[in-house]
Every structure is written in C-alpha cells, then in structure tokens.
C-alpha cells in the first residue's frame, strides 16, 4: 500500500469492509450461456414507466426486434434476445422481495437465432450528441450497475446542466460480484470507447474512471487502454463499501459534495457504470440493442461459481443449473450483491437488465440472527457514508414516528446497509429504513390520491352543472321552437285569411 492509498484510508471516515468473496469468480472469464427453453421479459426492467408491448402472442420475432416500446420521457424499450415465438403476454413472477408478479412477455426461442438487420455504425464518434443519446435510448440501455435508470436520460442531463466530468464507476464494491471487473479486463477498449461516446453526448471534457484497488488487473488493463486518450484518467479507490455509491464516488473523486436530494449533474458530474459504457459502445457500433448482460453467479452453495453472459429473460433456476446447480442447503437467493441486492422469493424469476449477480448463499454467509437491544455504541453512525444517525432513526421509526426520522435525514439514506452490517446487536437497521420509506411513500400516494379525488369531485359537480344547464337550454330551445311553430301556424292561418281580405294585410304583418 502506497502513501497515497494510506492517506485515502485515513481520509475516509465511513464505510465497512465486508468479506469480499471475489476470489470465487474473479478469475472466471465471462462465458456465454446457451439459450434457455423460454425467456420471460418483464416490461418494467428500468426505473420509470413500464414499456408498452408492440407484439402479440403467437407472433414470430427475430433477435433484436422491438418487443415493447418506451412510454414517456423516462422509460426504456425491451428487445428480443433471440428469434422465436411470443408465447404469452401476462403477469409472471419477477425479482422482488414481495414475490409479486409483473407484466412480462414470454418468448420461446426457436434456436435459429435469426436477427433483424442492424444499422451498424463505423464511426459513432462522428454522430451528433443528441443522436448518440437517441440511439442509446432506442437500444434499451439502462444503468447496468443495478440502478437501471435509463442511460439516455442521464446522457441528456448535459443539456440542462453544464457537465464537466463523466465519472465511470468501476468500484464494484459489493462483495461476490466480479462482472464489472471481468468486463474491464476483457473489454477495456469497449469501456473506453463507450465512455468517450458518453462524454461526447454529455459535452463533458474530462473522464475519470474510478476502480477499487482490490482489482489491480482491471486497473492495469484500463490504464493501458486509456493511455492514448489524455482526457481520461484512471484513479484507484480504497476498497471500501459503499464506494460505488454515486454520491460517495463523486465526493471522493472530485471533492465536491452532491447536495441532499439533488442530482450529481447539478455539480457538473454524471456517473455511469463501466458495464453500461461497454454496452453503449457495442450498441452504437453494431446497432444491436441490449439483450444480454454479464452476470456473476456466486455464493458458497453454487457448485461452479462463474461469470456468464446471459440472455435477458433467462430464469435464475436455469442460470444456476448451468453452473452445476447447488451443492449445499441454500439459506437465501439474492439477485445483485449481498448488501443491496434483491432477496428472491424463489428461483423462477428472470434475469433482467439490472441483474449484476445471482447469489445462492448458505446460512453462514447470509448472517442474521436474533436482534438484541441497542446499546448506543454508535458504530452505525461511524460507518454511515451520509453521516446520519441510524440508531436514532431506527428508534424513532420503532416508536411509530417515521416523520421524526425524516427530520434527521431518513430521506438522505441511500439504503447501503452498512449500519445493519456493522451493528453488534444485529438490529435490522436497513429493514427499519425500508419500512419507514415504504410508509412515507404510501402516505404520499394517499395524499396524491386525495388531491386527485378532490379534482374529480369538482369535475363531476362541474359536469352535473353543465348537464343541467344544457338540459335547461335544450328545454328552453324546444319551448321556443314550439312557440315559433305555433306563431308560424297562426301566421299562416292569418295569411290565408288575409289572402281572402287583402285590405287587412298590413295588420296581420
């Protein structure tokens, strides 16, 4: 460890050092997994509005064909990972701790893997910035680090705020996961190319790639790939969880703090994942949309832990079976990393765009146990990357006062779980915060609904009033018509009479 690294370690006053377990898969090259029997493609694999299907059951589709289009400004399309027939569009289990279902398109691959004609591009660097963002959006690229925010929306941030720096997140601070590490080692040119394209779309002058120092091989690969480009610098990061969190990364690498509740673009920085960069390079050069991704399959229960390139929509059970199945009792299946990943209710859920890992953990790894009372040791406050007081927030939430927890920063909590990880009393701190955030979101939904009900009621009274008025008007009109008809009839009678006596014509007129 050099002097600078030592200074970094001293400087950082937050974070935890969970056991990495990265050696399980860090030397396993990303191998392509063969296509499974069927692919389940959820319509909401991103943050934002779910995509709208443009295919019908029974239809045959080709690889790369659009299956569901983006709806609205923050959304992302879904494409077919292989050729085959659409079996169904309906509700299927998805990766979510609730075990609930969500709308998905089910595709049965026919094994021919016929593709649509892709519009490849030899020189994507010659494209206009807006055109780069448009193609990224059309390619269905979302943040592959796990946040799944549509990448093109983030590329458009440069239009609203001047962005000076593009940060590439190669931290991969979650234990077990090595797919970003492998991507940087195997495709460093693609990462650099994608980063330069993103910087062009953003109008950013500098690119900084942050890589944790526990990935020396990735660091060397990226440094040699970036050597030809003076605007790119590759920086080492202390191996500390949650280094890969956006606000922490920005603060560490640029010494600028992102304001509470704000976006990093407001301080002129946009952060993307290295995997996203590699995909953007591929999408722009080949014209092929995002339909596959690198996934780390790991955990002590997996017979053959490795890194796989998996077709999106492949069931977790198929992925695990490809890796030799499980060899020990599984305490917990997790999608993503063990710290912030999604607890899976079962393995019949599909791998989606945001799935960086599939973990089968045994009881020793899963941790847990009985919680005991808080002794106010304040270790949780010491590790919190935001500088919050987790023990105090949890105490307030436990007393049923979620609003009081908001007063001391619940909304700034990034849910990294460092506090719960470090708690010697095993208090499920992050569970408390998820619960409180859920209650607050429910209260907000109720408030919005109340507002909309007020509007609807007002609209109804307005409609009833209008209808009554229209009815009255119609009645008045009919009455007038009737009277006019009566008058006309009377006039006609009078005219007839007048025809008999011409001298009275002036009177009847």
Partner 1 sequence: MLIAVTSLTLIAGCLGLILGFAARRFHVEPPETVSEIEAMLPGSQCGQCGFPGCGGAAAALAEGSAPVTLCPPGGPALARALAEKLGVAADLGAMAEHEPTIATVREEICIGCTKCFKECPTDAIQGAMKQIHSVMKEACTGCGKCADICPTEAVSLVPLPTTLGNWRWRAPACA
Phi, psi of 348 (to 5 degrees): -90, 45
Nearest partner of 155 among 280, 312, 292, judged by Cα: 280
- The binding track of 236-275 with respect to partner 1, each residue x by CB under 8 A or -, is ----------------------------------------
118 versus 435: smaller Cβ distance to partner 1: 435
- Report helix angle 188-202 to 216-226, nearest 10: 60
**367 part of the interface to partner 1, by CB under 8 A:** no
Site for partner 1 in 42-81 (CB under 8 A): 44
CB of 467 to partner 1, least distance (A): 11
HSE-CB for 57 with a 13 A CA cutoff: 7
Is residue 400 part of the contact set for partner 1 (CB under 8 A)?
yes
456 part of the interface to partner 1, by CB under 8 A: yes
Please select the residue that binds partner 1; options are 321, 431, 494, 508, rule is CB under 8 A. 431
Where in 75-94 is the site for partner 1 (CB under 8 A)?
94
- The verdict on 471 binding partner 1 (CB under 8 A) reads no
Q: Which of 398, 409, 412, 508 binds partner 1 (CB under 8 A)?
A: 398
Beta-bridge partners for 342:
335
Number of chain residues interacting with partner 1 (CB under 8 A): 38
Q: For the purposes of burial, counting CB atoms within 10 Å of the CB of 185, is it exposed (0-12), middle (13-18) or buried (19 or more)?
A: buried
Q: Which of 327, 445, 479, 482 binds partner 1 (CB under 8 A)?
A: 445
Identify the residue whose tokens are 């990294």: 416
With binding defined as CB under 8 A, does residue 449 bind partner 1? yes
- How big is the chain by its Cα radius of gyration, in Å? 31
Q: At what angle do helices 188-202 and 129-138 cross, to 10 degrees?
A: 120
Nearest to 154 by CA among 266, 252, 70: 266
Q: In angstroms, give the least distance from the CB of 309 to partner 1.
A: 27
Contacts of 237 (CB under 8 A, 6+ apart): 8, 171, 210, 211, 212, 213, 243, 249, 252, 253
**332-335 and 357-361 as β-strands: parallel, antiparallel, unpaired?**
antiparallel
Which residue, 445 or 491, is less far from partner 1 as judged by CB? Answer: 445
**What are the DSSP E strand ranges found in 7-161?**
30-32, 39-42, 52-53, 60-61, 66-69, 78-79, 84-93, 101-109
Q: In whole angstroms, how close is the CB of 177 to partner 1 at the nearest point?
A: 24
Cβ closer to partner 1: 456 or 493? 456
* Alpha carbons 385 and 380: distance in angstroms, whole number: 10
Q: What's the closest the beta carbon of residue 246 comes to partner 1, in angstroms?
A: 23
Which segment (11-19, 199-207, 376-384, 396-404) binds partner 1 by CB under 8 A? Answer: 396-404
Is position 439 an interface residue for partner 1 (rule: CB under 8 A)?
Answer: yes
- The DSSP secondary-structure symbol of 51 reads P
| Shorter beta-carbon distance to partner 1: residue 42 or 357 | 42
Cβ distance 360 to 316 under 8 Å?
A: no
Based on the shown chain and the rule CB under 8 A, indicate whether residue 375 belongs to the binding site for partner 1: no
Can you read off the two tokens belonging to residue 270?
Answer: 């946009």
73, 375, 453, 492: residue in contact with partner 1 (rule CB under 8 A) = 453
Residue 409's φ and ψ, nearest 5 degrees, are: 100, 20
Instruction: Name the residue among 337, 349, 281, 282 with its Cα closest to residue 313.
Output: 349
Outline where 287-336 has alpha helix (H).
316-322
Answer for which of 17, 327, 411, 460 binds partner 1 (CB under 8 A) is: 460
Should residue 395 be labelled a site residue for partner 1 when binding is judged by CB under 8 A?
Answer: no
Span of 160-168, 169-177, 227-235, 435-443 interacting with partner 1 by CB under 8 A: 435-443
Stretch that binds partner 1, among 162-170, 174-182, 201-209, 432-440 (CB under 8 A): 432-440
For 507, counting Cβ atoms within 10 Å of its Cβ (0-12 exposed, 13-18 middle, 19+ buried), the class is exposed
- Minimum distance, C-beta of residue 96 to partner 1, in the bound complex (Å): 6
Contact call for residue 447 and partner 1 (CB under 8 A): yes
Rounded to the nearest whole angstrom, what is the least distance from the CB of residue 49 to partner 1 in the complex?
A: 11
> What mask of x and - would describe binding to partner 1 in positions 152 to 191, judged by CB under 8 A?
----------------------------------------
Please say whether the beta carbons of 211 and 243 come within 8 A. no
- Shortest distance in whole angstroms from residue 389 CB to partner 1: 18
Q: Give yes or no for residue 134 binding partner 1 (CB under 8 A).
A: no
Place of tokens 């997994």: 33
3-class state of residue 437 by DSSP: helix
Binding site for partner 1 (CB under 8 A): 44, 94, 96-98, 100, 102, 371, 397-398, 400, 403, 427-428, 431-432, 434-435, 438-439, 441-447, 449-450, 452-454, 456-460, 463
């Amino acid at each position: 460890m050099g002097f600078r690294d030592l200074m970094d370690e001293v400087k950082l006053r937050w974070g935890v050092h969970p056991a990495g377990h990265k050696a399980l898969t860090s030397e396993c090259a990303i191998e392509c997994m063969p296509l499974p029997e069927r692919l389940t493609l959820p319509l909401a694999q991103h943050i934002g509005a779910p995509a709208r299907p443009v295919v019908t059951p029974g239809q045959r589709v080709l690889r790369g064909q659009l299956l569901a289009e983006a709806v609205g400004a923050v959304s992302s399309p879904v494409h077919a990972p292989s050729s085959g027939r659409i079996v169904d569009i309906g509700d299927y289990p998805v990766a979510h701790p609730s075990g609930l279902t969500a709308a998905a398109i089910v595709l049965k691959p026919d094994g021919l893997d016929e593709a649509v004609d892709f519009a490849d591009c030899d020189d994507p660097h010659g494209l206009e910035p807006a055109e780069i963002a448009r193609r990224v959006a059309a390619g269905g690229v979302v943040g592959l680090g796990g946040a799944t925010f549509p990448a093109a929306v983030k590329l458009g941030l440069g239009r609203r705020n001047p962005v000076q720096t593009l940060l590439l997140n190669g931290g991969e601070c979650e234990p077990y996961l090595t797919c970003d590490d492998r991507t940087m080692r195997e495709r460093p040119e693609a990462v650099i190319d994608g980063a330069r394209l993103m910087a062009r779309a953003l109008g950013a002058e500098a690119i900084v790639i942050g890589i944790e120092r526990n990935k020396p091989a990735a660091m060397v690969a990226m440094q040699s790939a970036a050597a030809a480009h003076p605007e790119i610098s590759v920086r080492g990061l202390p191996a500390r969880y949650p280094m890969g969190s956006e606000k922490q990364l920005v603060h560490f690498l640029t010494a600028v703090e992102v304001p509470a509740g704000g976006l990093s673009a407001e301080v002129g920085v946009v952060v993307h994942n290295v995997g996203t960069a590699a995909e953007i390079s591929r999408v722009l050069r080949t014209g092929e949309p995002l339909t596959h991704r690198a996934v780390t399959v790991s955990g002590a229960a997996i017979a053959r832990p490795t890194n796989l390139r998996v077709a999106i929509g492949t069931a977790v059970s198929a992925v695990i079976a490809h890796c030799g199945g499980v060899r020990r009792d599984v305490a917990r299946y997790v999608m993503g990393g063990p710290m912030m990943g999604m607890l899976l209710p079962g393995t019949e859920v599909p791998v989606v765009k945001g799935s960086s890992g599939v973990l089968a953990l045994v009881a020793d790894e899963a941790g847990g146990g009985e919680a005991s009372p808080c002794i106010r040791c304040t270790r949780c406050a010491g590790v919190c990357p935001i500088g919050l007081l987790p023990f105090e927030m949890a105490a307030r939430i436990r007393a049923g006062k979620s609003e009081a927890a908001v007063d001391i920063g619940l909304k700034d909590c990034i849910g990294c779980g460092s506090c719960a990880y470090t708690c010697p009393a095993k208090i499920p701190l992050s569970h408390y915060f998820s619960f409180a955030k859920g209650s607050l979101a429910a209260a907000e939904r109720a408030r919005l609904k109340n507002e909309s009900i007020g509007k609807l009621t007002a609209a109804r009274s307005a409609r009833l009033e209008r209808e009554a008025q229209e009815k009255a008007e119609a009645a008045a009109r009919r009455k007038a018509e009737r009277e006019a008809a009566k008058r006309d009839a009377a006039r006609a009678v009078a005219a007839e009479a007048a025809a008999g006596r011409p001298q009275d014509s002036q009177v009847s007129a």
